[in-house]
Amino acid sequence: MYIADKNRYQAIAYNRCGKSGLLLPAVSLGLWHNFGDTASYENMKNMCLTAFDNGITHFDLANNYGPPGGSAEKNFGRILKEDLKSYRDELIISTKAGYYMWEGPYGDWGSRKYLMASIDQSLKRMDLDYVDIFYHHRMDPNTPLEETMGALSQIVTSGKALYVGLSNYDGPTLEKAAKILEELKCPFVINQNRYSILDRTIEKNGLKDTSVKLGKGIIVFSPLEHGLLSDRYLNGIPEDSRVRTDGRFLKESSITPQRLEQIKMLKKIASERGQTLAQMALAWILRDGKVTSVLVGASKPSQIMENIKAVENTTFTEEELNLIDKYSI
């Protein structure tokens, strides 16, 4: 029987999620990859337990995570039932709906019909009464914002989620959505968006500053650019890498000589800081206190342990920040 490490809360910092009462670990575990039915169950279980033993209390999912869609929630539900059930009140479990999930006109985007059905499906797959955070996964240009936000509000009032979040929204749409949710007295606490040294979109589209202005938390995904911001591709493309096994998110054409030269220079800065490139990339995201938590993906427990060390030094000199900008933008 699994018994969690008694020192687990000494390993990591916990940051307040905007102006809410919710605290999240500086590093959270994302189940986007490596938790579907094509992965080893024992490995995914070991990753989740390693994360929790080291203070990672937040596990982030979505209805379509897999492959196939739904399988990450199903597998995580099994881990909960077999090993983490007694620790449920120590966990933050989030899921989302907004991308394609099932056939027909009601399994995609942001309609009330889709969101209400999706939360019920997710709870059933994970065998939970509620999730801690339920997100709308992406902006829907065709459904009225009032309808989508109204569905999120009802999901909370029905007891199926404690908080709501928005994912892949830009700053202006976020501000409109936040106003609606405030009028509905719905506890909207967090935004989830892509952000890394190599991808500054949330700085350009106003999301980062708008979130801070509104008192909402930010959690970011793809902080390592699918492994580019690590040592993984510096000596060629490994046969077991996502470039080879799943080219949807990182294509071989993206790994140019120019990009590799940038990464080598960034690695040099990291080495001078006493960090790996991956650790520096995560620390850079947390540097200014505006990001609540950074989502890491992993294929083995040792990667989680390495990533947690990023929180040991999130302070950068002005010279370091200027050099990072020089070699990344």
- Could you report the per-residue pLDDT of 16-71, keeping only the tens digit for each? 999 999 999 999 999 999 999 999 999 999 999 999 999 999 999 999 999 999 99
CA 281 – CA 294 distance, rounded (Å): 10
- Strand, helix or coil for residue 88: helix
Residue 259: predicted pLDDT: 85
Contact 300/47 with Cβ under 8 angstroms? yes
Interhelix angle for 257-272 vs 277-285, to 10°? Answer: 80
Residue 226: predicted pLDDT: 86
Domains of the chain: 8-326 (3.20.20.100)
* 3 state SS for 63-125: CCCCCCCCHHHHHHHHHHHHHHHHHHHHCEEEEEECCCCCCCCCCCCCCHHHHHHHHHHHHHH
Mention every residue, 6+ apart, whose C-beta is less than 8 A from residue 50. 301, 304, 305
Residue 235: predicted pLDDT: 64
Residue 329: predicted pLDDT: 81
Contact 161/155 with Cβ under 8 angstroms? yes
Burial (CB < 10 A; 0-12, 13-18, 19+), residue 248, is: exposed
Contact 149/140 with Cβ under 8 angstroms? no
End-to-end CA distance of the chain: 49
Dig out the tokens for 229 from the structure. 């911001």
Residue 286: predicted pLDDT: 98
Tell how strand 14-16 and strand 217-221 pair up: unpaired
Contact 38/28 with Cβ under 8 angstroms? no
Residue 118 CB: number of other CB atoms within 10 A?
Answer: 25
CA 277 – CA 140 distance, rounded (Å): 36
Report, as ranges of residue numbers, the positions in the chain whose pLDDT lies below 50: 244
222: amino acid identity, one letter: S
* pTM given for the model: 0.95
Residue 231 CB: number of other CB atoms within 10 A?
Answer: 13
Segment 202-212, tens digit of pLDDT: 999 999 999 99
Residue 244: predicted pLDDT: 43
Residue 174: predicted pLDDT: 97
Quick check: bond before 68 cis, omega within 30? yes
Q: Identify the residue whose tokens are 């909960």.
A: 80
